[in-house]
Amino acid sequence: MRIRSCAASSEAFLACVDCYDHRAERLSERKGKKVAALGWGVPEDLIRAFGMDVFPMWADADMPLPGADRYLEYSFTPKARNWFEAVLDRVGKPEYLAAADSEDVINRIYYYLREIRREEPERDLPELCLIDLLFSRHMHVQAWNEKALGRFAETLEHWAGPCPAGAVEAEIRRSAVIQERLSALSALRKTALPRLTGTEWLVIVGGGFFMERGAYENALDRLLEEVPSWDPVPGIRLYYTGSVQQDTTVYAAIEEQGFVVVGEDHDWGDRYCQRPLRTDLDPIRALADRYMFTPPSSQKGLVRERVEALRESVSASGAQAVLFYSDTGEEAASWDYPAQKRMLCELGVASAQLRNMDFPPELQVLRDALDALKGERDDG
């Protein structure tokens, strides 16, 4: 990743870069029990309240995949195969793995791992838990999710012992502040003259997943002071929707083509802080509320919900173009595209769609699509 001189002069930003680029090493330095999280909706604050550390499992394009080749069919998406391999290899050295029922592929990974633990105990895999959450906005679903989170709290007590009184509420308050600070930083991408590139934003969000919490809070405070004076970022304002990006490869390629990514709807970007935890609710309800009412990802949500969420996000970010990007095997997002494209045409916003992208991606395919998107804007 090329770092702009204004960002390179920021110790806070470089601390995020260090944790983002050396995530496994930073995790191995941390003391105490660790829980790897797989899927949107794993309640990080509940885990921390029990005195354990938590981090999201990630895909590494350079990782050999002997375990995935042995155990998994090729119908698993490339990133899912990487997540599976990372668990087998105990990347980050987690003692436990919590999987949220946020995608079908997460369920499948969980059940494969459960069988390997049963049949091959010598592999010493992390202890596993599946959190059976439903992504819908109905009252009966809220009650179901609250019960599911209550059952997960019982599992955490088995793993770590009793939760100290008031610890969940304290962690929720702390996370709400972090999410609000991240939202304020993201707003600096959406001003008339953006001060952050999309690539820098990915590093700030993702670096925090692997940084000690106190250090991250301090880094965000300093970035909120520094970023408003950073050089403005030129380029065509682009909104990204689709598959999660857990490294900077795709964003860097987009921005090298003369675009600046001003928003996205995946879990390692804006979606992580779009609905800060509510501190006025019962803690279990607050955790369920955030899971249920965060704008839908490309893997969840009705077509009309996705169309409206995209309309709001594009308008709020001032995007001049939208890129729809889905990895191989992640076809769900493409089902929404015709309705979303019609809405964007009404707004006068150009768009391009890339489907079945490899991991790591073929960057020339991406560059060609971006060149065509520029042409569509010029013709429009």
CATH number at residue 114: 3.40.50.11890
Residue 90, token pair as written in the block = 């105990």
Nearest to 105 by CA among 294, 335, 299, 290: 299
Rounded to two decimals, the pTM is 0.96
Do residues 215 and 334 share a domain? yes
Quote the domain boundaries for residue 91. Answer: 32-160
Cα–Cα distances (Å) from 247 to 61, 175, 294, in that order, read 9, 23, 22
Where b means 16+ CB within 10 Å and e means fewer, 169-207 reads eebbebbbebbebbeebbebbbeeebbbbbbbbbbbbbb
Nearest to 135 by CA among 300, 287, 318, 278: 300
Do residues 188 and 44 share a domain? no
Ordered per-residue pLDDT tens for the chain, 380 residues: 789 999 999 999 999 999 999 999 999 998 899 999 999 889 999 999 999 999 999 999 999 999 999 999 988 999 999 999 999 999 999 999 999 987 889 999 999 999 999 999 999 999 999 999 988 778 888 999 999 999 999 999 999 999 999 999 999 999 999 999 999 999 999 999 999 999 999 999 999 999 999 999 999 999 999 999 999 999 999 999 999 999 999 999 999 999 999 999 999 999 999 989 999 999 999 999 998 888 887 667 788 889 999 999 999 999 999 999 999 988 777 888 999 999 999 999 999 999 999 999 999 999 999 999 998 877 66
The pLDDT value given to residue 377: 79
Do residues 227 and 102 share a domain? no
Do residues 193 and 140 share a domain? no
10 within a domain of the structure (yes/no): no
69 within a domain of the structure (yes/no): yes
Last residue of some domain: 102, 133, 160? Answer: 160
Type of residue at 21 = D
Residue 33, token pair as written in the block = 């029990």
Last residue of some domain: 106, 136, 160? Answer: 160
167 within a domain of the structure (yes/no): no
5 within a domain of the structure (yes/no): no
Which residue, chain included where needed, has tokens 């857990």?
246
Q: What is the DSSP letter of 138?
A: S
153 within a domain of the structure (yes/no): yes
Which residue, chain included where needed, has tokens 């803690």?
283
Q: How many independent structural domains does the chain possess?
A: 2
195 within a domain of the structure (yes/no): yes
Do residues 280 and 135 share a domain? no
Do residues 140 and 186 share a domain? no
Report the alpha-carbon distance of residue 346 to residue 355 in Å, rounded.
23
Report the alpha-carbon distance of residue 9 to residue 229 in Å, rounded.
12
Last residue of some domain: 129, 160, 191? Answer: 160
* Maximum distance among all Cα pairs of the chain, rounded to whole angstroms: 63
Q: Is 282 left (phi over 0), alpha (psi -120 to 50) or beta?
A: beta
Do residues 185 and 153 share a domain? no
Do residues 42 and 138 share a domain? yes
φ, ψ for residue 289 (rounded to 5)? -60, -45
Do residues 92 and 188 share a domain? no
Do residues 192 and 132 share a domain? no
- CATH number of the domain residue 312 falls in: 3.40.50.11900
Identify the H or E element spanning 327: strand 321-327
Do residues 155 and 211 share a domain? no
4 within a domain of the structure (yes/no): no
Do residues 179 and 137 share a domain? no
168 within a domain of the structure (yes/no): no
Residues recorded for the chain:
380
> Pairing state of beta strands 53-56 and 34-38?
parallel
* DSSP-assigned letters across all residues of 41-69: T--HHHHHHTT-EEEE----TT---HHHH
| DSSP helix/strand/coil, 150 | helix
**Mutual orientation of helices 249-256 and 363-379 as an angle, nearest 10°?**
40
